[in-house]
Amino acid sequence: MTAPGTPPPLTPDDVRTVGTPVDGRVPDVAPESAWDDRRLHYDLVAPANRRKFTVIVVGTGLAGAGAAAALGELGYQVECFTIHDAPRRAHSVAAQGGINAARARKVDNDSVHRFVKDTVKGGDFRGREADAYRLGQESVRVIDHMNAIGAPFAREYGGALATRSFGGVQVSRTYYTRGQTGQQLQVAGANALLRQVAAGTVTLHTRQEMLDVVVADGRAQGVVVRDLVTGEVRAVTAHAVVLATGGYGNIYCKSTLARNSNATAAWRAHRRGAHFANPAFVQFHPTALPLMSQWQSKTILMSESLRNDGRIWVPVRADDDRAPGDIPEEERDYYLERRYPTFGNLTPRDVASRAARERIDAGYGVGPLKNAVYLDFADAVQRLGRATVVSRYSNLFHMYEQATGDDPLRTPMRIAPGAHFAMGGLWSDYDLMTSVPGLFVGGEVGWGYHGANRLGANSLLSACVDGWFTLPYAVPGYLAPLLGTPRLAADDAAVLDALEAVRARTERLLKNDGTQGPDRFHRRLGEILYRCAGVTRTPEGLAQGIVEIRALREEFWRDVRVLGEGAALNQELERAGRVADYLEMAELLCVDGLDRDESCGAHFRADHQTPDGEALRDDAAWCRVSAWESPAPDAADGRFVRHDEPLTFQAVPLQTRNYA
């Protein structure tokens, strides 16, 4: 019952309207033939004409570095921007466990079609089937290419590249460099980028943050950036813009992402007209370290690869305070092996996270705060020997010991679900172009491959496929009809308007007469999201989240305090701008979760579950992408507009996920 005088909870109709559908422009052929068909029909730019085009690439992770290097190698003039002091510092370094590829070099019955089946099923049938095929088909080239440019993949005794398994699959298709795969791939990609910088085809701009997109004549023609050292705000124009700026997991404040990771570039592009797809689809990694203090600034990621040899368990008895070594085998609940015997500890991330959260909430959590489960390597050490286990995961064990003071080979690791990867992102068509012509996306800032749950080791793959083998086809296909079109003039009205918008927002933050720093608001926002839009959601919780986020956003603009000046290094200003964007994006995240009246993948609604607690989809109503348009700041009703893209499945028919 609602208390007297309390307004009724928000409903989807209170916060959104439904607009016209969007077209993903997938070729009208069988999904396994779509990529070959599209490449055949792309317009081409002759080698002599490529230097006449300028392309902006924002971000230097695997997707951004790959796209910039590949376009530069082809002969285009590339302006590449990064917030980091060097391209290799991009957050792709943090993906530790491996990169998938359907090369089928082991005789375990893997194939491109099996890769697609695993990816589509793992995403709970909420991604594009044709995109998943492109991912699998190009995965073979990715491994060969990254190996050729210097990634030191692990090898078998005879010299063949080694593989291991990851969650949601029953084959061995994950290539790795111990627990440093992202770092080693990033080094190789950054070196390829710097090769083009030396060749003069790429101009690299470090310590530059993109704060707006210049849209003129209905297409993206530049960006506005702020020099993070000097504070200078300037515009750079081009014939096309590629955003490869990562995901928005840090909206939860305490996430596995680096503190500097943010969603400002994507959100500012959204505010310029780029639809945002499925913002509620956020993955909680089951192998993060639990929070040990409310003042902890972030969580730490332990690679999913550890689940190959580690066994996850909790005590059979609730509130068991005994040390793990004192709990006998018969009093341990290996709950993933019990509930999902076919996949065991390698269930997909959303399934493993929900199961861990359920055990913790039911009183079986372990550790000082009772907020974790155990990941135990004792059986692996006994079976394989300590040296073999250490050779596979040495740096991960070292990182865990540095963070906690415990040796994970003597005492089981303590792990818990933590906000991690964003399956949602800027909506794009099959060519990775957003609803703003000329604005492309690559990597986690996009949405298409992973549906409602990403399988482990598909993130590095999707970034590499986008950067090296999709954008270098799609961007020239867009540019070809623009041959002879000059770059937008620096004094064009659209450029001046974008510059003024950035300066006005900066001044508003600096002149606000508040009392609280931006980090306090970010922490409070994270608490709201974990509570209202976490591993498990309810319509009542999501509605309450919208109300609380709106109130927090109003308080932010009334009471935020930003010290320092704009024309200088000012990290407080950077954080304030990013938190302001999160406070807008968070409302849309909850709106999307409230609107999507089903459970699917990582979007688990407690009111839509099977009798045994699994996600219950509604394919009749929700087999589609939600591509959102935000209301204008001065809109009368302030409601978001949802544009739908229907999803179809031919090669992998719709089915109920079952990992038991």
Domain boundaries, the chain: 48-284+421-482, 286-419, 493-646
Q: How many whole angstroms separate alpha carbon 586 and alpha carbon 279?
A: 9
Is residue 93 predicted with pLDDT exceeding 80?
A: yes
Is residue 319 predicted with pLDDT exceeding 70?
A: yes
Pick the CATH number of 493-646 from 3.30.420.40, 1.20.58.100, 1.10.357.20, 3.40.1110.10: 1.20.58.100
Is residue 104 predicted with pLDDT exceeding 90?
A: no
pLDDT band per the 50, 70, 90 thresholds, residue 652: very high
Give the architecture (CATH level 2) of 48-284+421-482. 3-Layer(bba) Sandwich (3.50)
pLDDT band per the 50, 70, 90 thresholds, residue 294: confident
Q: How many whole angstroms separate alpha carbon 323 and alpha carbon 186?
A: 40
Please identify every residue annotated as catalytic. 349
Residue 57 has a pLDDT of: 99
Is residue 52 predicted with pLDDT exceeding 90?
A: yes
Whole-number mean pLDDT of the chain? Answer: 96
Segment 12-39 shows an average pLDDT of 98
Per the DSSP assignment, residues forming a β-bridge with 414 are: 374
Rg (the chain; Cα; Å): 24
Residue 1 has a pLDDT of: 45
Residue 78 has phi, psi (to 5 degrees) of -120, 130
Is residue 24 predicted with pLDDT exceeding 90?
A: yes
Q: pLDDT tens, 576-603?
A: 999 999 999 999 999 999 999 999 999 9
Is residue 8 predicted with pLDDT exceeding 90?
A: no
Q: Where are the beta strands (DSSP E) in 238-365?
A: 240-243, 276-277, 282-288, 311-315, 332-333
Q: How many whole angstroms separate alpha carbon 352 and alpha carbon 463?
A: 24
* Amino acid found at 412: P
pTM, full prediction: 0.97
Pick the CATH number of 286-419 from 3.40.50.300, 3.90.700.10, 1.10.1060.10, 3.30.1490.20: 3.90.700.10
Residue 18 has a pLDDT of: 97
Is residue 6 predicted with pLDDT exceeding 80?
A: no
Is residue 275 predicted with pLDDT exceeding 70?
A: yes
Is residue 310 predicted with pLDDT exceeding 70?
A: yes
Contact 410, 400 (CB under 8 A): no
Please enumerate in sequence order all residues whose Cβ is within 8 A of that of 129, keeping only pairs 6 or more positions apart, or say none: 31, 116, 120, 647, 648, 649, 650, 651, 652
Please enumerate in sequence order all residues whose Cβ is within 8 A of that of 257, keeping only pairs 6 or more positions apart, or say none: 91, 94, 246, 247, 249, 250, 298, 420
Burial class (CB in 10 A: 0-12, 13-18, 19+), 565: exposed
Residue 633 has a pLDDT of: 80
**Among the residues of 412-457, which ranges form H helices?**
none
| pLDDT over 70 percentage in the chain | 99
Is residue 66 predicted with pLDDT exceeding 90?
A: yes
User: Which of 447, 396, 416 has the alpha carbon at shortest distance from 285?
Assistant: 416
Determine how many CB atoms are found less than 10 A away from the CB of residue 514.
17
